Structures are given as structure tokens and as C-alpha cells.
Structure 1
Amino acid sequence: MERARNVAVLVYEKVDGLDFVGPFDVFATASNWGKDFRVYTVSEKVQPLNTISGFTIYPKYSFDDCPPPDILIVPGGIGSRTEMYNESLTTWINNTASTAELVLSVCTGALLLAKANLLDGLSIITNRRAIDLLRQAAPSNSRIVEDLRYVDNGKIIMSAGVTAGIDASLYVVSKLLGIERAVDTASKLEYEWKK
């Protein structure tokens, strides 16, 4: 790919900070100073949002002006339990996924993918404390995986809880740019990648 891939990191009220910041930093660090990835946040509206840990974030783009994502990251957090019923958000996820190269859910971001009708027939995973919620939201022909950090369904990649999103992001970097780039990125972050 000649241009940098657009990596859109979805944020919303009561998103988990590490769910979105971990993957954001992985792709930013792996980007080769912006040559390979252009990472940004996007939300339904450009307005201050509060994470579950209490810090406020301000998304770069809204759904209306977001550059088309090549990679969409859908993080979790307690807010996902409300946002899964936000039809504007789940419709945007579905529409964006149809043109994106890859979609990565982190933790209970899986609930948003379920409500966006993206999990039909897939192997799926979320935070181990939210498995029952995912079981209720997911299609009956999906298969819940409980013993992995992440699962690759091709276009849809899903991770377990919180820090597993960092592992899954490093996996995506290795898938797109090679294992050496992923190992170097983990080293720069001083992170022990759990493959």
C-alpha cells in the first residue's frame, strides 16, 4: 500500500482508557513516523467524552467527517453496554466495516460488533467477565472462545479483555507489516507481547 493506512479508533462515553490507548499507541509506534499508519480517534460527535477511569478525551473526528478507515478499532468499556443500543453507532460500525480492510474489537467492543451484525458464524472473544453478555448479544451460530488472547477471523479480529488489545494490535501489525515490525514495536513500548 503506497499511502499510510487510516486507523480509526472509536471512542464513546465510558470507553475503557487502556482499551483504546493501548492499540492507538501500538499503531502509532509501528507507523514508521506516520508513513505506514495514520492513527486518529473518531466518535459520533466531536465533543468531550469521559473514560471509565475518569479522564476526558476529545475525539479528532465525528462520523460525518472521519477519513475512511482502512482499520477500525472498536474498544470496550462499561459504556459499550449502553452504546450497543445506539443504532447510529452500530450502523456506522457496520457501514465502516464493509469498506475497511480489517476490524479489531477489544474487550467488550465485541458487544458493539454483535449489535452491528458482524459476528455471524465467527469465532468470537471478549473480556472473560463479559462472556455471558456476549453470548446473549451474538448470533447463535458464532463460537465463543474463552482461552485465547485474540482470535483472527480474517477481516474481523477480536481480543479478550483490556491488555489483550495490545497483543491483538501487535498481531495485526505483524500480519500487515511483518513479524520484525511487530517485535520492534513491542520493544519500543517495553511490552512483553503475548502471542
Structure 2
Amino acid sequence: MEQARQGRNVAVFIFEQVEPLDFAGPFEVFLAGSNRGQDFQVYTVAEHDSPIIALGGLSINPAYTIANCPKPDLLVIPGGWGSRKEMNNETITNWIREVSDDIEIILSVCTGALILAKAKLLDGLKVTTNRSAIHELRNVVPTSTEIIEEARYVDNGKIVLSAGVSAGMDAALYVVEKLLGEDRAIEAANIMEYDWKRD
């Protein structure tokens, strides 16, 4: 365990028509698992600094843009209807691909997998997404990619992908466990009064 090291930066990417729980769930998990900010510094990042309108009209002010955000150690890519547009946004997919070289873990939630596919990061991996978007994912991943339809989340080492919405919280708790141990993940779930569903 690397608890002695400086806290990790957790960048949560947000975009127009993002699914609220896809980003807010993992945000809360890493916050709850941070030991009061000592082990994770969690922040939102967007392409531009203007407010982001999530599904349902929720307005979020991103803390940073992709041009000025602190160097992420972990990157969360959520889904939602807006992922269908962002997956074709080369500014975003290029940024994700560029920063991925130095990132410890990328966590995709729901249709965030579509964005990672377009960033060319899923070649040869085991992947999953929201059950209702499996066919969309199949259309954009390479033939070497294996889609695991029934998994709540899958771990490829550097890239962890989860199914829809609340599955992102389960996967984020798994990442906390992977980095800081089972006790920390259980503590985070208890702080949130969340019933952690392990895969």
C-alpha cells in the first residue's frame, strides 16, 4: 500500500448532458475515501470553464478546464446522453489519450466507455458499459476488445470500466480498495451509508 505518498489527484471529467450520478457518485466515493482530503484531492474538469448542464438541468461549475487542471493521477470518465457527442470531440479524446500515459487509473462509468473507445484506449481489453448501450459500444471498439455484458465492473489494470450509473460507485470503491486497502473502501461505503456491490 502506498499510504505514505502524497495524495492522488482525482480528475472527474464533466460535459454537457452528463448523467449526474455517473460523475457525482465516484466524486463522493473518492471524497469519502480520502481520509479528509489527505489521500485524494477530487476535482471536476471540463473542456471549457463555462457551467455544464447535466441531464435534468443540473448546472455544475467545473473547477478546472483541460488546459489548466492539476496533473491527474486518476481520471473518471462518466457517461450520459452527452457522451455520444463527446466521443466524437477530438479535443477531448486527444486530451484523454495524451494524459493517459501518466495516469495511474482511468475509471469509465456507463457510456464513458464510448469516449475511451474513441480515444483508442480499449484495444485488447475487457470492457463493459450500461446494459442498454452494449450495442453502441460494440460498434466502436476494436475486434480485439472483449465486451463483458453482465459485469458490474471490469479491471484491466490501468483501465477500469463499469456498467451504468450506481455501478460507477461500486467501481470507484473497488479502486479505493485497490489503492488504499479494503478497510478504507469499507469505511468510505459506511460513511456514505452505501451498500457496496462487489463484482
In structure 2, which of residues 23, 26, 47 is the aligned counterpart of residue 44 of structure 1?
47
Amino acid at match of 2:63: K
Establish whether residue 123 from structure 1 lines up as the match of residue 145 from structure 2.
Answer: no
Establish whether residue 102 from structure 1 lines up as the match of residue 139 from structure 2.
Answer: no
Deviation at 1:147, TM superposition (A): 1.2
Classify the secondary structure of the residue corresponding to 1:40.
strand
**Correspondence for 1:135:** 138
**Correspondence for 1:148:** 151
Aligned-partner Cα distance in 2 for 1:130–1:106: 12
In structure 2, which of residues 65, 77, 88 is the aligned counterpart of residue 85 of structure 1?
88
Aligned-partner Cα distance in 2 for 1:151–1:101: 16
- Count of matched residue pairs: 195
Q: Runs of 5+ in structure 2 lacking a partner?
A: none
Classify the secondary structure of the residue corresponding to 1:39.
strand
Classify the secondary structure of the residue corresponding to 1:23.
helix
**Correspondence for 1:182:** 185
Aligned-partner Cα distance in 2 for 1:12–1:58: 11
* Aligned-residue RMSD, C-alpha: 0.6
Aligned-partner Cα distance in 2 for 1:71–1:115: 19
Establish whether residue 191 from structure 1 lines up as the match of residue 180 from structure 2.
Answer: no
Amino acid at match of 1:137: V
Q: Could you list the per-position Cα deviations for residues 73-114 of structure 1 after superposition, in whole angstroms to 9, with x for gaps in the alignment? A: 000000000110000000011111111000000000000000
Classify the secondary structure of the residue corresponding to 2:197.
coil
Aligned-partner Cα distance in 2 for 1:34–1:176: 15
Q: Summarize the alignment of residues 63-78 of structure 1 with structure 2, pairs less than 5 Å apart.
A: 63-78=66-81
Deviation at 1:6, TM superposition (A): 0.2
Aligned-partner Cα distance in 1 for 2:194–2:131: 22
Aligned-partner Cα distance in 2 for 1:53–1:108: 17
For normalisation by structure 1, the TM-score amounts to 0.99
**Correspondence for 2:17:** 14
Amino acid at match of 1:118: L
Classify the secondary structure of the residue corresponding to 1:99.
coil
Classify the secondary structure of the residue corresponding to 2:157.
coil
Aligned-partner Cα distance in 1 for 2:135–2:99: 27
For normalisation by structure 2, the TM-score amounts to 0.97
* % identical equivalent positions: 55
Deviation at 1:148, TM superposition (A): 1.2
**Correspondence for 1:164:** 167
Aligned-partner Cα distance in 2 for 1:131–1:147: 10
